[in-house]
Structure formats: C-alpha cells, structure tokens
Homo-oligomer: A and B are copies of this chain.
C-alpha cells in the first residue's frame, strides 16, 4: 500500500545484485513511487509482465517502467524496461526493495503477558495482548502480534512473525523466519480416540509439532500435534489458508499446499509435492517426491514420486481426463446400441 521513492537506476542496481541477467533499457533517472498492475500503473510507477497472456496489457500500459521477460515487446508509451528471465522473481525483489514496511514498536509492550520464566532474545517484539508462556524461548527479531498466544515450553526461532490471533500450544518448535498468518493454530490435539462400547475414549496427544525454517502458513490453518513424537512441516514449505495437517503428519521440504487442502493423520508428503486447492490425502499414505495433486484430488493410495493425479479417487490425471471424455460420449453410445438392436432385429426377421 505505501512505498518509498527510488530512482529506477537504484532499483536496477538492487536487482542486479540479486539476479544475474537483469538489463535496464531506458531512463535510470526516472523516479518510481510505487508498484502496480499493468492496467493500473501510472507514469511514476513500476509494473511487471510475468504471464505472457497479459501481453496486451503491456502494450497499452501507462506505467513508467516495467519488469518484463527478455523477449517482451516495447509498450506503446515507451516505458523503461527491466528485462530478466525471471520477471516474477524480480518483482518479489522489487517489492521488498520499495515497500515501506511498517516500523513496529520493538520490545515488550506493557499490555503484553510474558511469563517471567519465558526467555526472549534481544530485539523480540511482543505487542499488547500478546502472550508467552513459561519456559518458552523466542529468538532475536521475532514479532508476536496482539492477541497471539505462545504457550509454555515452546522454542521459537529468530525473525519469526506470528500475526494476530495465532496460537502455538505447549512444547512446539518453530524454526527461523517462520511466518504464521492470523488465527493459525499449531499443536492442537490430534483427533485420536479408541472406540469402546460405542464410546470414544480420548487418546492423550503428548507429541508436538515441529515447523522448520522458512515455512509460511496461511490464515486459520491447523497443524495438529502428534499422539507420540512430532508432526513435522519441512523447511521452505508454504501452506495456504484453512488447511488441516493431521497428527503425526510429515510434510517434506519445499512443498506447496493450496487453500482448504488436508492431510489425515500420519500421512506423508515427500519433498517438493504440490497440493492443489481442496486436495486431500488419507491417513498413513505417502505421496512421493515431486508429485502434483490437482484441485480436489482425493488420494486413497500411496503415490510414487512424480505422480500427477486428479479426481476422487485420485488417479493419473491423463486417465481422469479420458474418463471424463468417455462420459461425454455415453449418450451417443446408447444411441448406437439402440440402432444396432434395430438392425439385428431386422436381420433376424
């Protein structure tokens, strides 16, 4: 929403320090006041083209400067261009460079509730109404927003952001640079009950949750604590809103889990798996490394590495598409069978 001002040259130099292949074409002295979409950006703003289907918007943009792929055409308004093979990545860096990040009031606010036996490193911020329990350790530069509760005996890494309303229950572990969005719940009890004479007897959930470095989890998502041992979210994984990770689940490194997906207890995603929206994995199954689940895929058997599946029950996506196509031919097939019946009847006479 709010940006600081920079010359295009200064921005270019920042990007050139991160990316090998950036090229500036145009007026380095241009003052950039913000970043906006191709349709919305004005002469003092930077925009970007990542998806080639928006090429038409590039042609007609009013942006003063645009981050574009190497082969993009010059827009009609003669905008300055920053060319790169990775425009979306360049945008990420440009946003970090230009966004005017809010200066938080560091330290522990008098309205925060930090237990005397909690241990906060230098530079930790606990805002009004934030809670840190006994025996919990929080690393330097981490921020606990208002209304966020970290119960006792947790270990929270450095540079962690726990947005408002987050709950981290007892004994959980978060790595460095973890980001939990509002109302995320880490370490709620797993759903474990022994059936006995029609009653459900609670299995105490004495495990915890371990979230490794650089994980980000979206609003209102839940990662349940293990019955025994740990539920684990591997480093670099990114989880969207309203996702449910069951007790004892193992999520490998660098996975992507899109909104409203879920994994039942003791399921495992190996490294680099992608779950589309509302995908689901039943309990005790393994999804092999690098697999991709389309939206609403419902995995009922373990999948080998590199699987690409969709549907319920999930099957190879190509097969699923064929099934759907066959359904479209059903009506014609019924007509053909009726015609055959007529012809055979005629032949028999």
Contacts and interface: CB of A to CB of B under 8 A. Distances in A.
A95 B193 CA distance: 12
B280 A280 contact: no
A277 B263 CA distance: 10
A191 B206 contact: no
Contacts of A102: 152, 170
B113 A236 contact: no
Interface stretch (A9-17, A34-42, A74-82): A34-42
A347 B151 CA distance: 81
Given A165-B167, A182-B167, A218-B222, A262 B278 contact: yes
A238 B193 CA distance: 9
Interface stretch (A24-32, A301-309, A318-326): A318-326
Interface in A175-230: 179, 181-183, 185, 188-189, 191, 193-194, 196, 198-204, 206-208, 216, 218-222, 224, 227-229
Interface string A121-136: 0000001110100000
Given A89-B196, A242-B222, A206 B326 contact: no
A101 to B, nearest CB: 8
A202 B185 CA distance: 21
Contacts of A202: 92, 216
Interface of A: 1-3, 35-37, 40, 86, 88-89, 91-92, 95-96, 99, 102, 109, 111, 113, 127-129, 131, 145-149, 151-153, 163-165, 167, 169-171, 179, 181-183, 185, 188-189, 191, 193-194, 196, 198-204, 206-208, 216, 218-222, 224, 227-229, 236-238, 240-242, 244, 246, 254, 256, 258-260, 262, 264, 272, 277-278, 280, 282, 295-296, 298, 312-313, 322-324, 326-327, 329-331, 333-334, 336-337, 340-341, 343-344, 347-348
A200 B272 contact: no
A221 to B, nearest CB: 8
Across the A-B interface, the 3 shortest Cβ-Cβ residue pairs: A113-B128, A188-B219, A167-B182
A254 B199 contact: yes
Copies in the complex: 3
A348 B236 CA distance: 67
Given A206-B95, A278-B280, A182 B191 contact: no
A254 B198 contact: yes
Contact of A191 (B169, B203, B254, B259): B259
Contacts of A244: 240-242, 259-260
A96 B167 CA distance: 24
A138 to B, nearest CB: 15
Contact of A330 (B147, B169, B326): B326
A243 to B, nearest CB: 8
